[in-house]
A and B are shown apart, each in its own frame.
Chain A
């Protein structure tokens, strides 16, 4: 019963905070975003791809939609949507690779939607999205994604989603080509690996901030602000409980 109450209170609190901050932002209250080198570089890479006419490789990872890693996959898809919108405007289609079967049709739908928004749905091709391996075979997926990212017509590589230690293979492939790359995951090991390879690493919760940095819609910004408030509440809660335990008030 205690667990149920805890889960319900987190959901209700988050929903309330999200609604309040969303309403504030829709009224035009300005919100500042902390500068993030990876997302700034991502915008630069998107621009460079348009200028050079070479494609971006993007992977939302291998977080199957019906698994606990699904939200990381969805965060990757939201980043892909923005990237595909920019690409469709310029006529340079992104190459997408996925490492979970349920992400395949979702990624194809995301890219198609972006093309439809730009009124260029006829330029959309299903074959630009590649299913490389099932999520149980991370290194096979990484090897395939590395090969795709090394195609001559590919400018840079973006990996935002659920990936594990196999991130190292992808990162090493990008480094050898001296290509720009953005690497982000919800996995601590993958994030640590990414940091060793690139200054443009996206760590854990920052992955979920991708839509806010790229789309900047009031909803995304409100969601990011809610995440910030919740983090402060969690930190204060942990400190409070630790202090109470030290004082012997809490068992």
Chain B
């Protein structure tokens, strides 16, 4: 029984993985079909995720957690609005609420990031005064200055340096980084395809 429990998911995963890979290389229709199934399963997973979120916060609401109460109320309001949209009582309510609340909040969080990073850079400089932190600080200063309005004579000196940093150093670094990630992805994917790694297994 244990062997069946362990074996069946592995066989299904290996066959699905190999079929997708073969499809991607030789039969695009097959891989597209499997990817469509995966997208459908992902939608079901999203539904489970929302239920998980709701159940956890409903439990917390009982213990008096105000954040959870707001979250549950917002979820129910959004669901109600989706229903009124569907039955024609309101028009585009979900999208409007989303644009008015969610988009500004995400934008605010994203803009906070610039300050966090700036302070993190300063702290890095204060805590580790080695050649790397000096290089880090000099690069940041140079790139900040190069983005500001400058006299043409200064721009003529700074712009080639900025281009060199972006086009040569940063591009080479990012390519090397992505190459490493790709190699890690290939080895991990092979382990998954061969059924040697089973993150889906229950035992």
Contact = CB atoms under 8 A, between A and B. Distances in A.
Given A77-B199, A130-B56, A168 B183 contact: no
A188 B177 contact: yes
B99 interface: no
B181 interface: yes
Main secondary structure on chain A at its contact with chain B?
A: helix
Interface residues of A, number: 68
B46 A15 contact: no
Interface stretch (B37-45, B79-87, B156-164): B37-45
Nearest to B50: A131
B42 A101 contact: yes
A104 B42 contact: no
B41 to A, nearest CB: 7
Contact of A234 (B183, B185, B200): B183
A188 B116 contact: no
B53 A64 contact: no
Contacts of A101: 42, 45-49
B188 A75 contact: yes
Contact of B187 (A72, A98, A208): A208
B116 A169 contact: yes
Interface string A79-121: 0010000000000000000100110111001101100100000
Contact of B174 (A66, A130, A168, A188): A188
Interface stretch (B88-96, B147-155, B190-198): B190-198
Contacts of B102: 137, 140
A14 B180 CA distance: 14
Given A112-B202, A113-B203, A102 B41 contact: yes
A105 B48 contact: yes
Interface stretch (A38-46, A47-55, A225-233): A225-233
A137 B50 CA distance: 14
A139 B106 contact: yes
Nearest to B128: A199
Contact of A105 (B26, B45, B50, B56): B45
Interface of B: 21, 25-26, 35, 38-39, 41-42, 45-50, 52-53, 55-56, 59, 67, 102, 105-106, 109-110, 112-113, 116-117, 120-121, 124, 173-174, 177-181, 183-192, 194, 196-197, 199-203
Given A15-B194, A231-B179, 10 more contacts: A72-B185, A104-B49, A116-B202, A127-B52, A129-B52, A131-B52, A139-B106, A188-B173, A205-B180, A205-B184
